[in-house]
Amino acid sequence: MGAIYVLWLRELKRYVRSRAQIVASLGQPLLYLLALGYGLSPVFRRSGEGNYLEFIAPGVIAMTVLFSSLFSGIQLIWDRQFGFLKETLVAPVPRLHIMIGRTCGAATTAMIQGLLVALVAVLAGFRPASYGGVPLAFGFLALIAVVFTALGTTVGSTLRDMQGFQMVMNFLVLPIFFLSGALYPLAHLPIALTVLTRVDPLTYGVDGLRGALIARGHFSALIDLVVMALLAVALTAVGAWRFARIEI
């Protein structure tokens, strides 16, 4: 357990020291919140759907966590190429503990970025429907971070070069985001798009966040929680299996 704590703390220190990463992580969410949130609000309101800024804010928060979590796998490849990972793996601790520590650290930093964007959304005018749903929203934020950090670890443990990782992530990130319902309601979609949104894991995270924060969930909170929890367990297990087979 000591190794898990040390690696978790190391990931947090690495993030805090990277001020440029903190600032850069706010750029794209700000663009979505301000340009789309305010720009499309009149259209969204005239269609009878309410305030678009309030609708899009949970999706943008989830997007921030998604991007940060998935791209944490780059750090794994970086550490492997420059020998830092080898120093960690030769330590007399199980590789499972190392993987869990790295995953918890990367998931925590992703959650911090998501919370920063949530603060920006509040400053921009977003308000939760009920503050009683904030703890549940925090739980969904943690599940999103764990699910996609584990996925990033799985990909990072499988690939050996940055270029390959970037190609795979570019193939995954945008479809996962745009099919999640982060930018549009899930009701009344074409059949093909409905099927794709249902198999997108981020859909249930965004829906859970939206239901907790503005009480506009498409599914029930229980369904969202169960799906995200099962995905977290399954992807963490796959990530641990791939990490255990890393060859230095």
pLDDT at 6: 60
pLDDT at 33: 81
Q: Which amino acid is at 159?
A: L
Q: Which amino acid is at 160?
A: R
The tens digit of pLDDT for each residue in 36-87 reads 777 777 777 776 667 888 889 999 999 999 988 888 777 777 777 766 666 6
Closest CA to 137 of 121, 153, 152: 121
Closest CA to 71 of 145, 12, 13: 145
Closest CA to 79 of 69, 66, 93, 89: 89
Euclidean distance between CA atoms 215 and 128, whole angstroms: 9
- C-beta pairs of 231-236 under 8 Å, 24+ apart in sequence: 231/143, 231/147, 231/201, 231/204, 232/143, 232/146, 232/147, 232/150, 235/147, 235/150, 235/151, 235/154, 236/100, 236/103, 236/146, 236/150
CB 157 within 8 A of CB 243: yes
Q: What is the CA radius of gyration of the chain?
A: 18
- List all residues 6 or more positions away from 117 whose beta carbon is below 8 Å from its beta carbon: 25, 26, 29, 33, 60, 61, 64
Question: DSSP 3-state assignment of 183?
Answer: coil
Euclidean distance between CA atoms 140 and 225, whole angstroms: 7
Tokens 């190429």 correspond to: 81
pLDDT at 121: 87
> What are the domain boundaries of the chain?
2-244
Euclidean distance between CA atoms 57 and 209, whole angstroms: 10
Tokens 């600032």 correspond to: 23
pLDDT at 78: 73
Closest CA to 104 of 137, 146, 72, 157: 146
- Point out the residues of the chain with pLDDT beneath 50: none
